[in-house]
Structure 1
Amino acid sequence: MAETLVFPGTVEWSGENPGISLKESPEGPFVALASFFRVVLSPHGRGHALVLLRAPQEAAPPAERSNLCITDNEKLARWLIAEFVSHFGAFKGQPGLSSLLWRTLDEVKSVGDAVSSYSEIVRAGDLTVELAWKGLGEPFCFAFPPEKSATGKHHMPSLFVGCETATITVNGRVLPGKPGPREIAGRTISTAMLAFSETWIRAPG
């Protein structure tokens, strides 16, 4: 019988963290980034947060392309951005992450079966953002050790679902770009994926 696998350390948060990272060409920079959180447990309580960079390369973009954080728990969102999002590969070092416009989340809902397609729809006042994933692949589960995680400090057991296409739509306007190929845990997926059952466990020491 296989031994029970126990991750040493402190569970810092658990929940869902699907994301979409878009480029206009494989060799070019990211032109739009979205990381959505549905957190069920953390030191700062439960909550949702959408970090959306419509101008990742710009610290002070015009209002129509402002970089956003939409959340119903600002303390949680600020902690997630400082401790996690700022270390994510596509977000790391992006000037746009320092110029977020904060909006209060009014409504969030998920749509789809997570087998063929899935969407997260976030509303804040007159703003509606839809993240959509289509052509979903086979779900797979893996656990990164701390040295391979984005932060370099956490175990990260997670269930991922890759997709063929993904879009970010803001008030009916589809943002430019498309996902590119990505290798993770021995699988080839894209830079847009669903991440369910995700838990970040800070390793001892």
Structure 2
Amino acid sequence: MTRIPHNPGRVDWSGENPGIYLKTDPANPQYDTLALFFRVVLSPYGRGNAAIVLGAPDEARGWPHVPNLIMTDNQRLMRWIVDGWVTKMPTFIGKPGLEAMTWLDCDSVEKRPGDLKTRYSETLRGSGVTLEMIWQDMGPPLPVEVTKENSATKEHEMYSVFLEAKQAQVKLNGTALPGQVADRQFFGRTMSTAFLAFSETWVTPQEGN
């Protein structure tokens, strides 16, 4: 197919969407900790920041009983993204913890980019909770173009710049959630389950494309 400079589709949202998926047993297909960060700069519901953490993905309970929660400063935006995107991502599909997670207000977000090679972090605070997501030892930037058929939602195209991290942590009120970074297959190549995702844009293709 010939590439054209102007995509005729509709931009749904754009921003940053790094993630951390951790396992205590690399051989186990199930993850022990799932975490996604969102810094949305463009959407029908405005701008917003958020982090989803499932420290007990297979338990239908929320915070403070188990570490299943979302922190955000734009709940309307994030309910739209959770329903339209997160629930359709293969790693999150059918997870009881996603449905049961507690929604918390976020008062502040602090980004510490470092040099984007050794360390990067996002810290969210609010509702009596401090959440830290930390990525370390990053690889080179990888430009990604994903067609509708291969995207997580099977409805959108996705464009982004990924940097995989060889180490990562998710800390909730200073306590690290369980698991270590593992490997996964990502569009034909082996990559880390912790990654930075910048300039991420989701597009609804024009009908007929």
| TM-score clears 0.5 | yes
TM-score (norm 2): 0.92
Could you tell me whether the CA contact under 8 Å between 2:37 and 2:51 is conserved in 1? yes
Q: In 2 relative to 1, CA 3–146 (structure 1 residues): closer, same or farther, beyond 3 Å? A: closer
Q: Distance in 2 between matches of 1:89 and 1:36?
A: 17
Between 1:178-187 and 1:8-17, the stretch displaced more is 178-187
Report the secondary structure of 2:32's partner residue: strand
Matches within 5 A, 1:149-168: 149-168=151-170
Could you tell me whether the CA contact under 8 Å between 1:142 and 1:185 is conserved in 2? no
1:39-66 alpha-carbon deviations (Å, 9 max, x no partner): 0000111001111111100012572424
Q: How many residue pairs end up in the alignment?
A: 204
Task: Name the residue aligned to 1:119.
Answer: 121
TM-score (norm 1): 0.94
Q: In 2 relative to 1, CA 175–34 (structure 1 residues): closer, same or farther, beyond 3 Å? A: same
Please, which runs of 5 or more residues in structure 2 have no aligned partner?
A: none
Please, which runs of 5 or more residues in structure 1 have no aligned partner?
A: none
Q: Percent identity?
A: 44
Report the secondary structure of 1:142's partner residue: strand
Task: Name the residue aligned to 2:100.
Answer: 99
Task: Name the residue aligned to 2:193.
Answer: 191
CA RMSD of aligned residues (A): 1.6
Task: Name the residue aligned to 1:6.
Answer: 6
Task: Name the residue aligned to 2:175.
Answer: 173
Offset of 1:116 from its aligned partner?
1.9
Report the secondary structure of 1:65's partner residue: coil
Q: List structure 1 runs of 4+ shifted beyond 6 angstroms.
A: none
Task: Name the residue aligned to 1:16.
Answer: 16
Q: Distance in 2 between matches of 1:89 and 1:136?
A: 24
